Amino acid sequence: MRINLSKCVGCAVCIPFCPVAAIKYTTDKKCQIDQDKCVECYVCYRAEICPEEAFEIVPLEWPRVIRHIFSSPRKVHKAPTISTGILGRGTEEMKTNDVTNRYNLGEVGFTVDVGRPGMGTTIEEAEKIAKAVARVGVEFEPLNPLTMLMIDKETGKFRDDVKKERVLSCIIEFKTKDDKLLLVVDALRDCAKHTNTVFSVGCISRLKPDGIIPIKATLDKAGVFYRPNGKVNIGLGRTR
């Protein structure tokens, strides 16, 4: 994204709209986009806030197009070789677990939303977290756009050409046996001490037939915080 400086009148109305504060008012009394900070989410463009229509979409090449893929909910994910066909950053996760059985009893799923809320991240920062949980022994979700950027799913290592790209957020999605739940939480807590960004952690569990949530007792006993609100797949999905 760029601002056409010949059209910009320096009114600065656009500045607050950027989710990552990438628009700056410069000494020549114009607004400019910091191209390193910009995550190509197109919020500024879609807001239609500029009275002079100075925002211009720039065709994006690889690897910069990664920013737009992960940061714009309207962009369908198309990795170089595989496409999830999913809009936005994520995957179906637990949302369709009633038909996909992606997460089964005896397993715990995790979604680590790196850069959320509102700080953004580089893929390099996400890699640090991916590597840390890989050491615990996890299975990264193959139908996840971020997993598709890994060159080694055993170690969580990403391809070098994307690491410097910045995105609004990206989700590391994986699962493991439920007896490793606390090991993963400890690994994430350790990552938290060294990261330059924030990440929001989700924890997924299938319910037993009697309605018991297997991981809840583990979380409660270990004193792991979880919010009073969350998501529930209510089991109405069917395969045909």
Partner 1 sequence: MTHTLHRIGDVESLKEDYIVQLITSKQIKNRSIRSSSIERFKFTTMFGGFAEKLLKRYPTLRKGIEKALLNYSLGPQIIRKIQDSALKFVMFHLTVFNNEKEFTAYITRLMERNLGPSVVVSGLFDNVYKCLGRAGIHPHTVQFSLGIFGRVDRLPREEILQITTMCGHHLISAGLTTKLFNDVKKGKITPERAAAIMGKQCICGAFNEKRAARVIRANTA
**Segment interacting with partner 1 (CB under 8 A) among 24-32, 145-153, 154-162, 210-218:** 210-218
Q: Single out the residue of 92, 124, 139, 186 in contact with partner 1 (rule: CB under 8 A).
A: 92
* Residue corresponding to tokens 């990795």: 79
* Nearest-approach distance from CB 127 to partner 1, in angstroms: 15
Please report, for residues 5, 40, 47, 56, 143, the alpha-carbon distance to residue 74 in angstroms, rounded to integers and kept in the order given. 27, 12, 14, 17, 18
- Of 23, 43, 39, the C-alpha closest to 31 is 23
Angle between helical axes of 181-194 and 214-222 (0-180°, round to 10): 50
* Residue corresponding to tokens 């390193």: 36
Rounded Cα distance between 161 and 105, Å, is: 38
* Element of type H or E holding 113: strand 107-114
| 152 backbone dihedrals φ, ψ, rounded to 5° | -145, 105
Chain residues 39-78 in contact with partner 1, contact rule CB under 8 A? 41, 43, 46-47, 73-74
* Nearest-approach distance from CB 6 to partner 1, in angstroms: 26
Measured from the CB atom, is 109 or 156 closer to partner 1?
A: 109
Enumerate residues 6+ apart whose C-beta is below 8 A from 197.
Answer: 114, 115, 119, 120, 121, 125
Chain residues 139-178 in contact with partner 1, contact rule CB under 8 A? 143, 168-169, 171
Measured from the CB atom, is 114 or 149 closer to partner 1?
A: 114
* Nearest-approach distance from CB 209 to partner 1, in angstroms: 9
Q: Single out the residue of 45, 77, 93, 146 in contact with partner 1 (rule: CB under 8 A).
A: 93
Question: Judged by CB under 8 A, does residue 229 bind partner 1?
Answer: yes
Q: Single out the residue of 57, 164, 196, 220 in contact with partner 1 (rule: CB under 8 A).
A: 196
Measured from the CB atom, is 151 or 194 closer to partner 1?
A: 194
Number of residues in contact with partner 1 under rule CB under 8 A:
80
